[in-house]
Amino acid sequence: MALQQHLPPLSSQFVAHFGEMGSRWGINRTVGQIYALIFISQRALNADEIAESLEFSRSNVSMGLKELQSWRLVRLRHLPGDRREYFEAPADVWEIFRVLAEERRRREIEPTLSMLRMALLEEPTSEAERHAQARMRQMHELIDRLMTWFDDVQKLAPETAMQLMGMGATVTKVLELKDRMTGKSPASNKKA
């Protein structure tokens, strides 16, 4: 692979993986690799350096950088005495997670909630539509509740959020133990 000629093996592996995963995350391979390279770089990179490291055309790099900027995943910097634009990823991985989650929410979840709200305002004209609307109401309530929870988590300090995430496994084990002791199935907890 050409990537290994310009990057150390560990870096090359990481960049290649992000390229493969890109399509699963809704971005193309090129954008995934560009982001991975910027993320692991010790310093801000310009488009020419990115193109050379990844052996991409300059135009592909420019388009990829524009997409990453629209997602707010890279920041533009200017260096004194240099007219070129340099790009860097936020240093704090928690900030990257927050930005990515906010963007996905804006692009994917909010349009779905909007469509569901409009559908719930409609007057059903048949039993099939009443059933469909009831299912949509359930989906709306779940997504709305998750977004309220997400908003609350976003307000937490990163250290507190990490502690909260660590508690998930502990809480799950306690609930499983409780279920075994009371003879309840895990599904019955979901209704509570």
CATH number for position 68: 1.10.10.10
pLDDT tens, position by position, 151-166? 888 888 888 877 877 7
> How far is 70 from 73, CA to CA, in rounded Å?
8
For the segment 19-29, the average pLDDT, to the nearest whole number, is 85
Count of residues for the chain? 192
pLDDT at 1: 39
Cα dihedral 35, 39, 45, 50, rounded to 10, equals -40
Query: Cβ atoms within 10 A of the Cβ of 33, count?
Result: 26
pLDDT at 38: 97
* Residue 135: inside a domain: yes
CB 47 within 8 A of CB 40: no
**120 and 83 within one domain:** no
**What are the E-state strand segments in 33-176?**
45-46, 75-78, 85-88
Question: Is it the case that residue 186 has pLDDT exceeding 70?
Answer: no
pLDDT at 78: 94
Closest CA to 95 of 80, 79, 73: 73
pLDDT at 191: 47
Find where tokens 């260096």 sit. 79
> How far is 74 from 86, CA to CA, in rounded Å?
10
For the segment 51-75, the average pLDDT, to the nearest whole number, is 95
* Residue 74: inside a domain: yes
Question: Is it the case that residue 175 has pLDDT exceeding 80?
Answer: no
> How far is 34 from 63, CA to CA, in rounded Å?
10
Give the residue numbers spanning the domain of 78. Answer: 3-88
**83 and 7 within one domain:** yes
